[in-house]
């Protein structure tokens, strides 16, 4: 019997997730269906309830429902640590006993893309994370785990401090999550948060744009001297060159978009659902060739 999954968002017609999971299923010989579902802005919970009643095994969650999805799971044990830290979820698992488990695979997808597909070693590198929204919070914890040196920059320093201080104040960071990290015994290291005006004189090996600036074709106020030699500029957006990507290219940095992150986070969700990890390189290549 075919197991049913879906991605839920608003809007959703642009989503590549059905195509990605179809390729995963064919590659791993899994009997599943995966569709895109448009949920009303005030009807996310009702949509999830309907899918569970109809026997779906799980779903992906995208904009604007990730924070709402986080609130669905109780008790606490049904919320993964990355989801609890980011206070958002992008992967829901519907168990046979009708319980609901949530996870956030965005951060792990980002790190896997940077390390595996871009062959970029994070340990000891100076990383600038732009933004303090859900995308940035999803990336923050895996970056800490990777032993990179992180500075968060945001237009509102106060807002970013409130959110990143969740890491400092979090009472129960699992040591298993921070295994082999320099933060295993010192998991309360305070993150450094600054404003854009304080970036002059800094250089970074990796700059990650986790803001929505690309949606409005805006360029974050970065100084042209921000990139260290052989730096990687990573924009979580995909499908077009953003002003940040053009700026980085003009400064001689290597440039990456978020397509690999999209595929890698989907692969992590697929693994949680099916217990098998697909080959993401083949899927990324297929999507780039079809663009």
Report pLDDT digits (tens) over 144-175.
888 888 899 988 777 766 666 655 445 556 66
**Residue 186 — very low, low, confident or very high, per pLDDT cuts 50/70/90?**
very low
Q: Is the pLDDT reported for residue 193 higher than 50?
A: yes
Q: Which residues are catalytic?
A: 66
Q: Is the pLDDT reported for residue 85 higher than 90?
A: no
User: 121-125 long-range CB contacts below 8 Å, 24 or more apart?
Assistant: 122/146, 122/147, 122/148, 122/206, 123/147, 123/148, 124/148, 124/149, 125/149, 125/205, 125/206
- The answer to whether 265 and 280 are in contact (CB under 8 A) is no
Q: What is the pLDDT of residues 217-271, one digit of tens each?
A: 999 999 999 999 999 999 999 988 999 999 999 999 999 999 999 999 999 999 9
Pairwise CA distance, residues 39 & 5, whole Å: 15
| Phi, psi dihedral angles at 3 (to 5 degrees) | -85, 135
User: Which residues on adjacent β-strands are paired with residue 35?
Assistant: 6
Q: Is the pLDDT reported for residue 86 higher than 70?
A: yes
């Amino acid at each position: 019997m075919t197991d049913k999954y879906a991605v839920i968002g608003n809007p959703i017609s642009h989503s590549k997730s059905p195509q990605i999971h179809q390729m995963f299923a064919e590659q791993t010989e899994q009997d599943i269906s995966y569709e895109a579902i448009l949920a009303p802005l005030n009807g996310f919970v009702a949509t999830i309830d309907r899918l569970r009643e109809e026997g779906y095994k799980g779903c992906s969650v995208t904009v604007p429902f990730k924070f709402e999805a986080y609130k669905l799971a109780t008790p606490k044990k049904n919320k993964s640590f990355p989801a609890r830290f980011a206070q958002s979820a992008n992967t829901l698992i519907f168990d046979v006993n009708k319980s609901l488990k949530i996870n956030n695979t965005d951060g792990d997808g980002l790190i896997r893309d940077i390390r595996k597909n871009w062959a970029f070693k994070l340990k000891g590198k100076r990383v600038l994370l732009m933004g303090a929204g859900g995308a940035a919070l999803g990336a923050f914890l895996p970056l800490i785990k990777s032993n990179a040196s992180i500075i968060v920059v945001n237009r509102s320093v106060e807002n970013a401090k409130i959110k990143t201080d969740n890491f400092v104040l979090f009472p129960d960071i699992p040591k298993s999550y921070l295994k082999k990290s320099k933060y295993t015994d010192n998991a309360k290291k305070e993150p450094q948060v600054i404003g854009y005006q304080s970036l002059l004189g800094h250089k970074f090996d990796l700059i990650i744009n986790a803001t929505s600036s690309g949606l409005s074709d805006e360029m974050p106020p970065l100084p042209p001297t921000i990139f260290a030699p052989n730096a990687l500029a990573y924009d979580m957006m995909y499908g077009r060159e953003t002003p940040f990507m053009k700026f980085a290219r003009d400064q001689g940095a290597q440039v990456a978009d978020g397509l690999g992150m999209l595929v890698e986070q989907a692969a992590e969700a697929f693994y949680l659902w099916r217990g098998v990890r697909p080959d993401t390189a083949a899927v990324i290549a297929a999507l780039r060739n079809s663009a």
